[in-house]
A = this chain, B = another copy of it.
Amino acid sequence: MKNSQLYKGSLNTIIMKLLEENGKMYGYEITQKVKIITHGELNITEGALYPALHKLEAEGILDVEIAKVDNRMRKYYKLTESGQKETVNRLAELEDFIRNMQSLVNPKSNLEF
């Protein structure tokens, strides 16, 4: 995919936010959801997604629950308690980040400072 470099570092936040919103999701479902929401502009690759999910699980941010649907495996992920707290922080960081980037790129939006 022609994802710009800008998305680097944002994958964990995206995953955590989607799980906060939807309770539990499996990997493939996350990729499809992101594709729909961004109108195809952001395509999360498996090579990025699965290692990220495994790491978040190892860090205690996510819990996993294995299911079998239509004879195919699914691994449902959901936020742990500490994961829910951490998600609040990550979303605050994202808001700060977006605000700062807008200040840098659109100096006129700085008039209130």
Interface residues of A (CB under 8 A from B): 4-10, 12-14, 17-18, 21, 34, 37-39, 41-42, 91, 93-94, 96-98, 100-105, 107, 110, 113
Q: How many copies does the complex hold?
A: 2
Complex Cα distance, B41 from A102, in Å, reads 13
If A37-B110, A91-B105 touch, whether A6 touches B4 (CB-CB below 8 Å) is no
Majority-rule SS of A interface residues: helix
Task: Output the least CB separation between A28 and chain B (Å).
Answer: 17
Q: Is the CB of B21 within 8 A of A13?
A: no
Q: By the criterion CB–CB under 8 Å, are B94 and A17 in contact?
A: no
Q: Which residues of B contact A98 (CB under 8 A)?
A: 98, 101-102
